[in-house]
Amino acid sequence: FTSASSDVHAFLGCLSATIPCNLVKTPGTNSYSELLMSSVQNLRAVLPGTTRPVVIVAATEPAHVQATVVCGRRHSVRIRTRSGGHDYEGLSYASLDPHEHFAVLDLAKLRAINIDAPRSEAWVESGATIGELYYAAATANQTFGFPAGYCLTVGVGGHLSGGGFGALSRKYGLSADNVLDAVIVDAEGRLLNRTTMGNDLFWAIRGGGGESFGVVLSWKVRLVPVPETVTVFSIRRSRNQSAVDLISKWQLVAPVLPRDIYLHVFVQNQQADFIALFLGRCGRLIDTMRRYFPELGMTQQDCQEMSWMKSTVFFAFNTANLPVEVLLNRTNADYFLKVKSDHVQEPLPRHAWESIWSKWFEKPEAALVMLDPYGGVMGRISPLATPFPHRNYMYQLQLFSSWSENGTAALEKRLSWVRGVYKDLTPYVSKNPRAVYVNYRDLDLGTNVLEGNVTSYEKARVWGEKYFKGNFKRLAAVKSKVDPKDFFRNEQSISPLPAAK
């Protein structure tokens, strides 16, 4: 809807019948800016020129979410749902369309977590963070874990609906693979669970990105078993200590290691950090590393044994010397971000690493490059089981640029670094199409175009098949069924499937 068709005044009047006015913030009212910024993770998305919401609804009850959807449809004000605000392009709180009138439905206060210890399950509301989920699970029982990302402030709502990858994924798959049920408010404002939403919608929200189909209020998840003691290490090797040789070898080793070991690499500042989680004690880890990867030179001194909960602190902060209560912190970012992701099927030759390193990694604006191994359970789940299709790659590659200098010069430099490396990687990475992870949102892949008042399927396929391959068509079919009028729409929402397809 544009400023011409939407009636913001009537929308606000409609909201006031159900939602207390202190939960509805319009620009200029007390604490609008504070609420808007409260979970923003990318300052690039709130630069002058990006369109901000005409209202933010800080929902505290499901009825507030239902009312916002019903009033939005009635008065032509579109909704962007925000759980943790970590979308890399800020799509949960900002629009690229200068004329769009939209509301942000902020779920940060809908964050209850209920652990059912006898069943090893939990109900978790979308506004909780994954750090809060880790804390609640492991506090209920030290042997409960959950497979999800490293960044503890990521919101459950966006993370689970887009996939959710982390250090337990080789053992247990994505977060979305461990969802057992969900409660969603659909485009009619109805509350649906797994049974009433049906198999297709339940399939779509486990990796297809939640924003296209409704507002997911809560998720029932399977908690996975972890040992009381796990082991981590972080081994740093500089370029002149043969980091390039080690990365070349890592490509062959990390995806085929036993699934109890997760070993990823961070490359930055002329060095590579090899960081591992092992679901067991140090002794067995040393034996396995000597067998598979003796060149890394891992020894007993590298081992740090700890609880699984503490290991999530270690992965987030690269130190375990922080109390586990940091899992409960919520922060907003004070940096700008640009991220691109890819997948690798064949190891990059050593000369490719050498030349990319010399050309790019020595520049002051170089980003953090993260290499995350697949294999294990990731490769055993069908690419059709959920919308996430990239199951059979060796590893995922992420170019993660974050910077704090404001201004166009810094922005341009960072963007051109990330885009330049992405281009130079072309011969070595996924092809036809490039395989990209939807939780690492990237608007460079393309943005939606309208045909009439509905998102064009043909145009959406351009970016959509990079995220979802053949699953994109099924996602579009689900969209036609549950939201044919395309109410839940943003720059990269799933289009409805035209009748003829």
- If one asks whether residue 401 binds ligand FDA (CB under 6 A), the answer comes out as no
State residue 118 phi and psi, 5-degree precision: -60, -30
Residue 466: CB minimum distance to ligand FDA, A = 16
Separation CA 103–CA 77 (nearest Å): 7
Is residue 387 a contact point for ligand FDA (CB under 6 A)? no
Q: Please, what is the minimum distance in Å from the beta carbon of residue 398 to ligand FDA?
A: 9
Cα–Cα distance for residue pair 21/31, rounded to 1 Å: 13
Q: How far apart are CA 7 and CA 1, in angstroms?
A: 10
Among 132, 211, 483, 486, binds ligand FDA (CB under 6 A): 211
Minimum Å distance from CB 312 to ligand FDA? 11
* DSSP β-bridge partners for residue 263: 276
Which one, 11 or 150, has the nearer CB to ligand FDA? Answer: 150
Beta pairing, strands 191-192 & 179-185: antiparallel
Q: Is 131 in the site for ligand FDA (CB under 6 A)?
A: no
CB of 138 vs ligand FDA, minimal distance in Å: 18
Encoded one letter per residue, x for contact with ligand FDA by CB under 6 A and - for no contact, window 213-242 reads --xx--------------------------
The distance of closest approach from Cβ of residue 381 to ligand FDA in the complex, given in angstroms and rounded to an integer, is 15
Q: Which of 439, 455, 471, 495 binds ligand FDA (CB under 6 A)?
A: 439
Shortest CB 437 distance to ligand FDA, Å: 7
Amino acid at 397: L
- When the beta carbons of 92 and 311 are compared against ligand FDA, the nearer one is 92
Residue nearer to ligand FDA on the CB measure, 353 or 463? 463
Please, are residues 3 and 52 in contact by the beta-carbon 8 Å criterion? no
* SS3 at position 50: coil
| Complex with ligand FDA: residue 189 or 289, whichever CB lies closer | 189
Single residue of 66, 68, 81, 495 touching ligand FDA by CB under 6 A: 81
Residue 327 exposed, middle or buried by CB count within 10 Å (0-12, 13-18, 19+): buried
At its nearest, how many Å lie between ligand FDA and the CB of residue 285? Answer: 22
Q: Which amino acid is at 336?
A: F
SS (HEC) of 167-197: CCHHHHCCCHHHEEEEEEECCCCCEECHHHH
> 15 and 62 in contact (C-beta within 8 Å)?
no
Distance in angstroms (rounded) separating the CA atoms of residues 284 and 306: 15
Nearer to ligand FDA, 248 or 439 (CB): 439
| Token reading at 465 | 């098949």
Give the distance from CA 270 to its chain's centroid: 27
- Smallest gap from Cβ 332 to ligand FDA, in A, equals 11
107/235 with CB nearer ligand FDA: 107
Q: What is the spatial distance between Cα 139 and Cα 133, in angstroms, rounded to a whole number?
A: 10
Maximum CA pair distance of the chain? 68
Q: Is 210 in the site for ligand FDA (CB under 6 A)?
A: yes
- Identify the bridge partners of residue 237 per DSSP, sorted by sequence position: 272
Site for ligand FDA in 141-180 (CB under 6 A): 149-151, 154-155, 157-159, 161-166
Q: Nearest distance from residue 209's CB to ligand FDA, in Å?
A: 6
- Give the three-state DSSP class for 325: helix
- Residue 35 or 298 with smaller CB distance to ligand FDA: 35
| Of the residues 82, 220, 310, 469, which one makes contact with ligand FDA according to CB under 6 A | 82
* Residue choice 85, 189, 208, 255 for contact with ligand FDA (CB under 6 A): 85
41 near ligand FDA (CB under 6 A):
yes
Size of the site for ligand FDA (CB under 6 A): 33
Phi, psi for residue 335 in degrees, rounded to 5:
-140, 165
Closest distance to ligand FDA from the beta carbon of 185 (Å): 9
Tell the smallest beta-carbon distance from residue 297 to ligand FDA (Å).
27
Sole binder of ligand FDA in the list 6, 126, 178, 307 (CB under 6 A) = 126
Which residue type, as a one-letter code, is found at position 150? Y
**C-alpha span between 194 and 326 (Å, rounded):** 33
Closest CB to ligand FDA among residues 215, 421: 215
Residue number with the smallest Cβ distance to ligand FDA: 158
The three-point CA angle 152-173-391 to 5° equals: 115
C-beta of residue 18 within 8 angstroms of C-beta of residue 12: no
Q: Would you give the binding string for ligand FDA spanning residues 272-311, x where CB under 6 A is met?
A: ----------------------------------------
Q: Which is nearer to ligand FDA, 249 or 338 (CB)?
A: 338
Residue type, 486: D
Q: Which of 6, 92, 471, 480 binds ligand FDA (CB under 6 A)?
A: 92
Residue type, position 169, single letter? S
Region of 495 on the Ramachandran plot (φ > 0 left; ψ -120 to 50 alpha; else beta): beta
Distance, in Å, from the CA atom of 120 to the CA atom of 279, rounded to the nearest integer, reads 18
Subset of residues 51 to 80 that bind ligand FDA, contact rule: CB under 6 A = 80
Sites of contact with ligand FDA (CB under 6 A): 41, 80-88, 91-92, 107, 126, 149-151, 154-155, 157-159, 161-166, 210-211, 215-216, 439
